[in-house]
Each structure stands twice: as structure tokens, then as C-alpha cells.
Structure 1
Amino acid sequence: MVTLLCENSIEAIVSKIALASIGVTAAPINPSLNTAVMIPLVNRLSPKLLVCDSQFIDKAEEVSSGCGVDIAFSININGDSKNRTSFKGFTSNSSVNPVCENIHGDDIWEILFTSGSSSLPKGVMVSHIKTYFEALSFSNITPLKLSQPSQITVCSYLPIIYHVGFCMLLAGILSGGKTVIGRGLNFRSLAETIERERVTTLWAGSPQALELTATEYAALNGGKNVLKNAIFGWGAMSPKVYREIKKSFGDEFSGIAIIGQTESCCAHRFFIDEHPEIFETECPQENYIGLPSPLLGAAIEYVEGVSVTNESGEVQNGEAVYRSPAMMAGYYKDPEATKEALSGGWFHSGDNFGLMSKGQRTMIDRIKDVIKTGGENVSSIRVEGIINQFSSVSRSAVIGVPHKKWGEAVIALVILKEGVEYDELSLISHLKKKLSSFEVPKSIILEQSFPEPVGGKVQKYKLREKYKNIFQQ
């Protein structure tokens, strides 16, 4: 096993693919993590070698010392490698025909840590088959509106070395096209890349990231109908914002909302332009995520205290459960968590889904994030969707905290847009018009940033811990 502390680069991608091709497991770790978190993770992995970007050489040396693992080489990007062996030096005498003996599709080629949005990261065991099927599932939708799949150019500036986006990269290759990656989420640079490389499919991340990319692209006066589709997730998008995005990229542009997990990334997909009546009338109050990929067996399972059934006894909302060839083998060195997650032969996602008209599904909330206040269940995602419609709000995170009267109280953490005026009374009035009384936050708190390990996935458990005594004081 080899641990990688790397951001996006060609060298890091080649390293991962090379390790897979010779039957060695890659274990990438988010290099932005504190070493106090990294060292226990690396000790759990017990790798033989460590690879890092020179940008993170100080962290790598601390991990190397703390875990007793040697640094194989450093990728010379954004920092001094301190005379460590370089990627070029390490590979200069390598064979162009590496030995690949007895590699099976079920072999574990990667340990991929969860983002830790609800707990500390768990190591997901990823097989060759899982990754191939995930890439195949996205290669079926990324060439949309192209006459030939090989015309595709997939692009992402999101982390793909230590995050699930690696299957997006492979989707472009499976289609016979090309993939363009960036390092660091710079929206101006991303817009310029879309224009220069004639990008046809963008893995954008959050709705906010896609909106900012479209704004920069419009400022460039970029060519219309270059970008054919963008895939996004992690939250609902408003129709007003979507219309502006479509205006920036052209009439041929379409958005695809998805939801997937590290454990199973053959996603649900909601094709916005195929369901304009649903999107225009119900979003972003409802976070539509559509239907599952044909490669994903998915069902909604009853959960006591959360689910709702109709008169026929069908589950109208409950926990999303999956089974598929594109499924994790389990959590590394964590048999209890594996047994719990895969009980009954299905992966239990922890997501609360709703079943809507035409079989379309909505993401109601993470089951752990459903707020139970005064006998009512509140979807934090629904409340966030309404808050984010307010003109001066950039992002929001809604959580439940202990309250003597209500059990839990709804509070909203809000990040404002730069350079705009903010009036809290106007925001509260906006919320009261669109939400039930029990959904309206009891407190609105301004924040500069949210704890988030990757993209827009907020670590709400940290926010709940921070504000757990706000109504006790």
C-alpha cells in the first residue's frame, strides 16, 4: 500500500493508475487535513511508502516520522521538495512494461476516505470493478448532446486524487475523449479553461460553484453552446439561478443534479431540462435528485421516526439503500461499521429520500441532520434552499441544537455575499412567507466560513458541537 498526500496533478494521476496496474493499493488522503488527523489514519493504513506534493513536504515529513513510513518521492509543485527524490527521478529507470500478475476485478486498488461530513473519515475499500462501473455510469450521461461520444472533453477543478471525482476523469477516457483537470478552485481560470479547451462536460461540485463559474464565463464573453452539460450536487438549485447559468452558456446547455457517496457512486440523476414543470414549481424547496443509474439497484426503506407511508403501505420517504457491482467492499479495518452499513445485503446510505411523482426522488436530508422540533421533523436542506434564495445570502447551513421547550431548535448559519447590504428582518420575513412556522430558524448567525473537508459538504456535526449550548446560556 502507498499513501498519497497530493492535490490534482498529472503526476499524481499517473501514480494512482500505475499502482493499480501492478496490484498495489493506493490510499490518498486529503492533504489539507491536520497532521493530528492524518497520523492516526496513516497508522491505520500501515502503508509501505508515502508520496507527496512538495507543497505538503512538511506535513509528509511529520507523518513519515510519526508513522515510520518512508517518503518514496515528491511531486515538485508549489514548494521546496527539500532534496527529496522527484517524480521524474523516481520514474527515470522504471520499466515501460510493468509486471501485472493475478489482478482480479474484486481486488482492492484504492482506500478512499469519506469526507467526514457527519463523523470522522472511514476508509472505503474500492475494487477495480467498482471504479469501472462508476466510470461507465457517468460515461453514459457525459456525452449528451454530442454527435459522437469521442467528442467529449470532461473538466473539473475539484479534488479528484482523494475524492470520488476520479470516476469522472475516467468517464471521459472511456468515451474516447479527453479530460482536463485544474488544481485549486479558481473560477476565472476554470471559465478560461472551458473556452480554451472547448469543454463539453463540467463536474462542477455545488450549485454555488456552478453559478460562480457561469458568472465568470459570461464576463469572458465566451462562445455559446460550448459547454453542453454540467453535473452538480450537494444542494438544490433555484430556477432563477439556473436560467442565468443557461443564459451564460447557451441554449444547448443542460444541468444534471446528482447524489452519490464514496461507498457507492453510481448516482441518482435529475435531468433538469427533461422535467421543467417540476423544476420550476417545486425547486429549490424540494431537492430533486431524480432516478438511479441503471447500474444502481436502489430502494427506499422504512426508518422508525423518520419515514412516512401512504395508505397502501408504500414508503413515501425513508432511508435510501443500494446494491450494485459498483459498491464498496467495506470499511478498512472497521468490521463493525461494515456490518452495520451493509446489513441485509444492502448499503444503508443514511440519506432520507422522498418518493415523488413519476418515481422521481428527492433528497430530504441526512437522517442524522433531520431536526426534530416540537414533534415535527424539519429538513435542513429544504430550509437552506429557501434561505439561499435571499438576495444577500451566499450559503447557509441549518442545524438543530438542544432546546428545553422544543427538544431541538432550528438555527441557521449564514455566509453573506461580498459587498451587499444585509437586513435580518427582511430575511426572516422572506422565510415566514415560504416556510411553516416550525421550520423558521429560531436564530440566524453570520459566519465567515464553514468546516468542510471537500467542496461544499459541510461538517454539520462540528457546527452542532459549536452551538450546542446557544439556548442554554
Structure 2
Amino acid sequence: MYMTQCLQRTLQQTPDHLATIFGSRRQTYRQFGERVARLAAALQALGMAPGDRVSMFALNSDRYLEYIMGVWWGGGVLNPVNSRWSVPEIVYSLDDCSTGILLVDEHFAALAVGIRNSARQAPLLIYAGEGEVPTGMLGFEQLIAEAAPVEDAGRGGDDLACIMYTGGTTGFPKGVMQSHLNLWSACMPRMVDMPPVRGGRLLHVAPLFHVAGMARALIQFLAGETHVLVPSFDAEGLLHIIERERITETLLVPTMILALLAHPDFDRYDLGSLVRLTYGASPSAGEMVEQLLARLPHLELSHSYGLTEACPVVSSNLPWNHTPEARQSGLSRSVGRGGLGVNVKIVDPHGREVPRGTVGEIIVRGPNIMLGYWNKPEETARALRDGWLYTGDGAYMDEQGYLFIVDRLKDMIVSGGENVYSAEVENVLAGHPAVAMAAVIGIPHEQWGEAVHAVVVRQPGAEVDEAELRQYCREFIAGYKCPKSIEFRDTLPLSAAGKILKRELRKSL
């Protein structure tokens, strides 16, 4: 169970199959494998020993996939850099796990010198972008051209594969340690539930530095199929590449899907090749699903719930739960059931399992669960208890084992002594045809302690006011759960993974 085995298998069986498409560059698995083996040799020559960390600060590209496989082929450990972080956050992540080599592309080369000068251990810089290599950096292409390929180091099992730093919503970011076995155990059950499309082309839009993007790339490697990459999300560019490259699958967050649906040329593009779309990062996507399937009724939709510590998938709501009947019953609002090999329970504050339909904390156990947090034994002990990962996510489970997320436990609103789960209110708001996105938070209130406050983004061209939305909510949920105040904005602050940053909303109030 080592993550480069899938590349070895494809090189043996289908070496001339198309591996990557990035802009005008196309390469077969034979070409890709040769570059990976040469990159591994170059990194070893630069001092990468088994278990050493190597980072990449870049947008999606074919070179990013070469970095992932090249580091593992050479025996190293990935430490992908969140491209939306500030320089101090990046420096912290590099210093925390003693990263000695940093690859950068043209989008972030200007920041690399400041990072190197600020880091406790100045990393060696490799330029993996387009155009001329900046002064003081080594060239990615030259390193590959001058290196002789090496054999796969074959690190696997419980060997550390990746350190992914979480967003640092409180205090400093935490480095989630993922082993080869963790990643393997996360990908294989997903392939059982949703086998990749045979001969398919997967479009990478989600950033590869994020666990969801990387895990989906690993599944495509396991299948030996084709990766198509774009640097970042652009609605028109995405529609164009789906048509041009006959894309079969992709992973998007709801904000991206809504932007596609709102594009005036959406219906002019031939999107018939797209047979499957996975969405995540938002449980309140009911109206979006209706709009999407009205425009592309042939599409297979699936929704996943997970977290970095689970590498990442805990549960999936599969295409058959997006049928008209399932959507009408409310089952499509679930995040699905636990995957193969993943045990899921809902527990009270004492760790005792609660009855079905009762809200509690999701805890998870399985071979996909992280090794722990790098250099943080106390935080590891709080998160991993008796073999279970305590997620901090509030949910309930129905009689069939389907999970329904209600909130991050720390985000629960207590209004007049009643518990209000923001996801429940957001789900209702998202069902209004004029609402594109909604976020619900608690704000201080003299009488109730906290009041339910909603921040709403309207659908393009739609008109709806506060009174109409409040009345709409009263049709579906109790009065104390309905927003006491609603504000309208053009956009909501989002993380790199497309999740709404509620801490930023609170700061702005």
C-alpha cells in the first residue's frame, strides 16, 4: 500500500495512455513516469532523504502532479502550500515541519524570496513555472533534463506520505499527518462506491494543495486515467474546456456550480460528455441541485462529507439519492452514509452514542484516519480518543444510517435558551429560488443572548427582500430558528476549499 504503485501499474499495462493535459501540453504515462523518476533523482541529489518534507506553492498544473508523484517516488513527504495564505502563515508551515525544498510557479515566485528570507531554515527554491527562471532559483525543467531516473523508493504503509496544514481558524495551523495507508484506505472505498469512468477525463479545478483535490487526483491515478488541469476557476474557461476536451468528471464546490449556471453562455456549450459531478463543502445546496439537474438532466451527482484528518471522505451521498423522489423526500440533503472501512457514530459530550435522530458530534474510526498532528501531542490527544476521531461537527443519523450535518458544534447558536443549528436555517434559505448562497451566524442580543442573523447572496437578476425571506423560513422551521435579521451582499468570504468563512463574517459585523 504505497501511492506510487498505481503509477507503476499503469506504466506496465497502459504506458501510452494519455496521462495529463494542461493547456497545449499533453503527455502519456510513459512520458509522465520518466519525468517523475528524473524529478525524484534531482530532489535526492539536492538533499531530500527518506521522510524529508518538500513543499509546492503553485496553482494547478501538470507539474503539480509530477511534484506529488516525484516526491513519493524519491521517498519524500509532501507539504503542499495553501496558496491563499499570507507569507507568515506559509513560513510557519514550512518551519514547523522543517521543509528544506520549496517549488514555486510564476504566480507566486515574487513571494518566494520573502518566504526564504523569513524562514528559520531557508528552503531551497525550485522554479516550476513558465518562462525564464528567476535569479537565485533552480529550474524545474533543467533539473529533470539533467537527472538520470531512479528506482521507486517504495515507501508505503504507515510511512508518512503527506503533511497537510489545516486552515488555522484558531491559533496556528495544525499539520495533519497522513500515511500512505491512510490515503490508500480513503481512495479505495470511494472507487468501490463510485468507480471512475472508464476511459474518462477528470478535470482538476479544486486546488491540488487541498485534500479533496489531491484525493481525487489519487483516485484518477489508481484508475490509470487522464488528468486535465486548469490553474484556477473561471466560469467561461471551464465551460470551454469541458466541451473541447470532452471532460467526463469533475469536482466542484457550490459557488463554482452557481457561477457556471449563471453564465449567460451556459446553454451554448456542449456539455454532454460530462457524466458525473461531485460537489462538497456545503450542505445547503438544494436549489442549486434542482437548477443543475434541470439544465443537465443526464448528470450523475454525488455529495461528499469529509475533513483533512480523514483523508478526506467520511461519507458520500451517491447519484441514486439525487433522483426526483430522493430530492422530494429530503434524502438529497443528507451527506450520505459512512464509506467502506469507515465507522461513524453520533455521540453526546461524554462520548456515548445517542439515539437515531438526535443531534450530537460525529466521530469516525478507520484506516483512513490521520496519524495525528505534527509536533502537537496535546491537540492530537484531544482529537483522537480511544481510536476515534472527534470531528467537532454536529449532525444526526437517521434509521438508515444517513448523516445530516447541522453545524460545527462551536458555531451552534443559543437563542433564548434554544439551540439553533445554522445549517438547518441555511438549508431552508437555499431552497428559495432567489437565493444563490446563504450563511447564518449568531450575533449578540440583549434579550435572547444571541440572535439568528443571515447573510444572503441573491441569484443574478433576482429580487427578494428581508420580509419575504423571513416569511418563507416560517413555513419550514420554528419561529425561534428564523433569522431575526438578514443582510444582502454581492459575495461571501470563502476559503480555498470553497467553504464560507464565518469568522470573517463575524469580524465584519
TM-score scaled by length of structure 1: 0.87
5+ long unaligned stretches in structure 1: 468-473
Q: Which amino acid aligns with 2:69?
A: I
Matched, 1:100 2:100: no
Residue number among 295, 315, 321 corresponding to 1:248 in the alignment: 295
The Cα shift of 1:58 comes to 2.1
Alignment of 1:8-407 (within 5 A): 8-67=60-119, 68-77=121-130, 81-82=134-135, 84-98=137-151, 100=153, 103-116=155-168, 120-143=172-195, 149-206=197-254, 208-214=255-261, 218-224=266-272, 226-236=273-283, 240-251=287-298, 253-264=299-310, 265-274=312-321, 276=323, 277-282=325-330, 287-303=333-349, 309-310=354-355, 316-407=358-449
The Cα shift of 1:31 comes to 1.9
- Match of 2:72, SS state, is helix
- Match of 2:414, SS state, is strand
Rounded to whole Å, the distance in 2 between the matches of 1:25 and 1:435 is 48
- Match of 2:336, SS state, is strand
Distance 1:19 1:240, change over 3 A: closer
- Match of 1:263, SS state, is helix
Deviations 1:15-43 (A, max 9, x none): 12111112211211112211132222222
Report % sequence identity: 24
Deviations 1:348-375 (A, max 9, x none): 1111121124221111111111111112
Deviations 1:223-255 (A, max 9, x none): 53x22221112223555543432243343x221
- Match of 1:132, SS state, is helix
Distance 1:142 1:151, change over 3 A: farther
- Match of 2:92, SS state, is helix
After the TM superposition, which of the residue ranges 36-45 and 122-131 deviates more from structure 2? 36-45
Rounded to whole Å, the distance in 2 between the matches of 1:243 and 1:465 is 33
After the TM superposition, which of the residue ranges 382-391 and 166-175 deviates more from structure 2? 382-391
Deviations 1:86-143 (A, max 9, x none): 2112222122124627x23211121111234566532101111112222223322443
The Cα shift of 1:450 comes to 3.2
Distance 1:78 1:124, change over 3 A: farther
Deviations 1:446-473 (A, max 9, x none): 3344333213212223333443xxxxxx
Rounded to whole Å, the distance in 2 between the matches of 1:439 and 1:79 is 57
* 8 Å CA contact retained: 2:434, 2:463: yes
* 8 Å CA contact retained: 1:302, 1:319: yes
Rounded to whole Å, the distance in 2 between the matches of 1:413 and 1:231 is 26
Rounded to whole Å, the distance in 2 between the matches of 1:128 and 1:352 is 29
Rounded to whole Å, the distance in 1 between the matches of 2:358 and 2:258 is 32
Distance 1:189 1:96, change over 3 A: same
Distance 1:35 1:440, change over 3 A: same
Rounded to whole Å, the distance in 1 between the matches of 2:413 and 2:269 is 44
Rounded to whole Å, the distance in 1 between the matches of 2:57 and 2:454 is 34
Rounded to whole Å, the distance in 1 between the matches of 2:216 and 2:385 is 29
The Cα shift of 1:409 comes to 1.5
Rounded to whole Å, the distance in 1 between the matches of 2:322 and 2:212 is 27
The Cα shift of 1:214 comes to 5.0
After the TM superposition, which of the residue ranges 405-414 and 449-458 deviates more from structure 2? 449-458
Q: Which amino acid aligns with 1:100?
A: A
Distance 1:81 1:393, change over 3 A: farther
The Cα shift of 1:407 comes to 2.1
After the TM superposition, which of the residue ranges 446-455 and 187-196 deviates more from structure 2? 446-455
Rounded to whole Å, the distance in 2 between the matches of 1:368 and 1:289 is 20
Rounded to whole Å, the distance in 1 between the matches of 2:91 and 2:287 is 45
Distance 1:52 1:339, change over 3 A: same
Distance 1:402 1:247, change over 3 A: closer
Q: Which residue of 2 aligns with 1:470?
A: none
* 8 Å CA contact retained: 1:393, 1:417: yes
Q: Which residue of 1 aligns with 2:4?
A: none
Q: Which residue of 1 aligns with 2:454?
A: 412
